[in-house]
Structure 1
Amino acid sequence: MTLETATVDAGTVKMASGVVVEPGVFQLQTRDLPVETPDGWVLVDICAVGICGTDYHIFEGKHPYLEYPRVIGHELSGRIAEASGEWKAGELVVINPYLSCGECRACKKGKPNCCERIEVLGVHREGGMCARIAVPSGNLYRANGLSELQAAMVEFLAIGAHAVRRAGALEGERVLVTGAGPIGIGTALFARIRGADVHLLDLSEARLRQASSKFGFDNLHLVGDDILAGSLTDGFDVVFDATGSARAIEAGFPLLAHGSRYVLVSVVKDQIRFDDPEFHKREAQIIGSRNATAEDFETVMQAIREGLIDTDALCSRTIPIHEIADQFQLLANDRDTLIKAVVTL
């Protein structure tokens, strides 16, 4: 840690923490640096924090599961602060921010990502935009072969990798990803790795241009286009929604081919309505995709190591933590051209 992130104050070590105080108000506040952990937990000194759509939704008052004020930050890389059990001091780790109970029906079925009592860092409990955090040992993954910045981008990519895994087979299938933001791009990348013919749909021409220039996606569609014209008349085998918009989710149902799957990656507060006879005659499936599991984190890290994911193209900006308070509103306003901003400590 540096003097910019932690200081000594009257004998107690303090640290700067990025806090959404209430909707529309982001501040750097001083909090106590954790020095003790419960049994089985590990202290991690944070290296980098990716800013996510969830963080912007918290800032805008749109997140359905949150109480203010909240230290945000759940896309986290860090180094082990003190040797503990299997962990050596200084090891670079990726933090899985989904803290599960281990006892509910979902956990016992191997689905801790949708634990009945899940607590997500930066949402249900204080997050990692700070110098140090305590995390259960089982939520840490060694980031061998990755840089600190790359390790901070694993979590959001794991969301897309999990959604693609939830969709099932994909090789040779026609896939539409609605929403070309970070989660949508991550989903599209892993669908392509799995052999799909990937199309992207978005409101923003700028986002679609980025998808083409940075990642080589050529099948691009603007909202309002007659997307089912020509060779696409019979629809898509898989549609992924990564928009966070109820209207966009509803607009995706007519794009489903017969025998297709609709994977809802985003979460919205609203009710979703669709035409049941049209849905039924397609024998379509609706699949929820929430968070990610250890398998997905490992999938992402291996893809980065193999050069299948261009993390330089994903990282739009790096910002030191002492500058983030002045820039947070600007970042929230610039999501058309911003893929991933990463706060460094």
Structure 2
Amino acid sequence: MKTIILKEPGKFQTIERAEPEVVGSGEAIVKIRKIGICGTDYHAFRGNQPFFSYPRVLGHELGAEVVALGEKQTESTLMIGDRVSVEPYLNCNTCQACRRGYSNCCERLNVLGVHTDGGMTEYLKVPIHKLHKSGVLSYDQLALVEMLSIGLHATNRATVNAGDLVLVVGAGPIGISVTQFCRLRGATVVVADRFESRLNFINRHGIADQSIKVEKTLTPEHLREVFDGDLPTLIFDATGNRNSMLSTFNLIAHGGKIVFVGLFQGEVEFQDPEFHKREVTLLSSRNSLPEDFSEIVSLMEAGRIDTTSWISHRTDFDHLSEEFPTFMRPDQELIKAIVDV
């Protein structure tokens, strides 16, 4: 089967691998149909992705078809031919985090396409309980469920409520997904980004209540103008940019919450007296939970989340190596790229 490997930063290689075989009753083989390319993949290509080693097969946002099931699938409702979204978080089920229901931050977590080889291949063997089926959604939609689950999990971490004033910094796909889930809960959401094209996309599709073009850095004075004299009660930073993330400590309302959805390689520093004076709650948000996948599939099937306009770029296996680097250029006005397998 055809497989694309990221051998080292900036270098893809297409190889042939043997197709996987179903070994146990808890496993399935899926035919990969669509792959979403995300920030993790771009960071890995550039050589600055944490928790990553080379060579690696990328791909963890997957829409797939079930083509084989292990025997005696007594607890599964899956059938050959089902369309599924793949939950790429392979957790151990035995560590303290897993026992407490935090499988998203398992102590021995392996994420497909990050810690272990992922879905940039024709067929993939996965645990059957990591497959979330839909008889309604397309493979394009199913490939975006994992991305959306990151935003939903972050929103759940923050316990967003109606009446919250939310600032989302970073208008990439993750920031957009956070925005959508916050608005579903009745919050007022303002999105900030330095790329005009992303803000134009958000304004054109009515994704946020307002948007802010970041020229140099956000200031409390500017935010008070946007939020009618107040500061945001919740800030989600989805940039992965150190300066942006550290600036949030000066922008949050007293008693507010900051959620770091993105991450950078380095130390988080802030003025402790100011942090205490505001009684700020600082949260990180990593991956998502199985129930997040189920909720998103239901929301998409009900038409409450529409990702049709999000897919701005497409490629396929034959052209991925040459086109992947171009997606990162600012002039491409990228929102989301999909690989057709």
Does 1:72 pair with 2:58?
A: yes
Does 1:113 pair with 2:99?
A: no
Distance 2:107 2:60 in 1: 19
Distance 1:254 1:204 in 2: 22
Q: Give the residue type in structure 1 aligned to 2:274.
A: E
- Deviation track 1:131-163 (CA, whole Å, cap 9, x = no partner) reads 100111111111231111100010001000110
**Following TM superposition, where does structure 1 have runs of at least 4 consecutive aligned residues deviating by more than 3 angstroms?**
36-39, 231-234
Q: Which runs of 5+ in 2 are unaligned?
A: none
Which of 197, 210, 213 is matched with 1:222 structurally? 213
Which of 292, 305, 308 is matched with 2:304 structurally? 308
- Confirm or deny: 8 A CA contact 1:265 1:290 kept in the other structure: yes
- Confirm or deny: 8 A CA contact 1:72 1:121 kept in the other structure: yes
Q: CA deviation at 1:228?
A: 2.5
Q: CA deviation at 1:46?
A: 0.8
Helix, strand or coil at the partner of 2:191: strand
- Confirm or deny: 8 A CA contact 2:30 2:123 kept in the other structure: yes
Does 1:245 pair with 2:241?
A: yes
Which residues in structure 2 correspond to 1:278-289 (within 5 Å)? 278-289=274-285
Which residues in structure 2 correspond to 1:194-209 (within 5 Å)? 194-209=185-200
Which of 140, 161, 165 is matched with 1:174 structurally? 165
Helix, strand or coil at the partner of 1:144: coil
Helix, strand or coil at the partner of 1:236: coil
Q: Give the residue type in structure 2 aligned to 1:134.
A: K
Q: CA deviation at 1:215?
A: 3.7
Which of 122, 136, 142 is matched with 2:127 structurally? 136
Distance 1:297 1:270 in 2: 30
Helix, strand or coil at the partner of 2:318: helix
Q: CA deviation at 1:335?
A: 8.0
- Confirm or deny: 8 A CA contact 1:207 1:336 kept in the other structure: no
The 3 A distance-change label for structure 1 pair 335 and 28 is farther
Q: CA deviation at 1:222?
A: 2.0
Which of 71, 74, 83 is matched with 1:92 structurally? 83
Does 1:146 pair with 2:132?
A: no
Q: Give the residue type in structure 1 aligned to 2:49.
A: H
Q: Give the residue type in structure 2 aligned to 1:60.
A: R
Residue 274 of structure 1: aligned partner: 270
Distance 2:327 2:179 in 1: 23
Quick one: percent identity of the two aligned structures?
40
Distance 1:286 1:159 in 2: 17
Q: Which has the higher strand share?
A: 1
Which residues in structure 2 correspond to 1:329-340 (within 5 Å)? 329-334=325-330, 337-340=333-336
Residue 23 of structure 1: aligned partner: 9
Moved more, 31-40 or 95-104: 31-40
Please give the TM-score of this superposition, normalised by the length of structure 1.
0.92
Aligned residues: 331
Helix, strand or coil at the partner of 2:253: strand
Distance 2:197 2:319 in 1: 26
CA RMSD of aligned residues (A): 1.5
Q: Give the residue type in structure 1 aligned to 2:314.
A: T
Distance 1:59 1:169 in 2: 34
- Confirm or deny: 8 A CA contact 2:256 2:281 kept in the other structure: yes
Q: Which runs of 5+ in 1 are unaligned?
A: 1-14
Q: CA deviation at 1:217?
A: 2.4
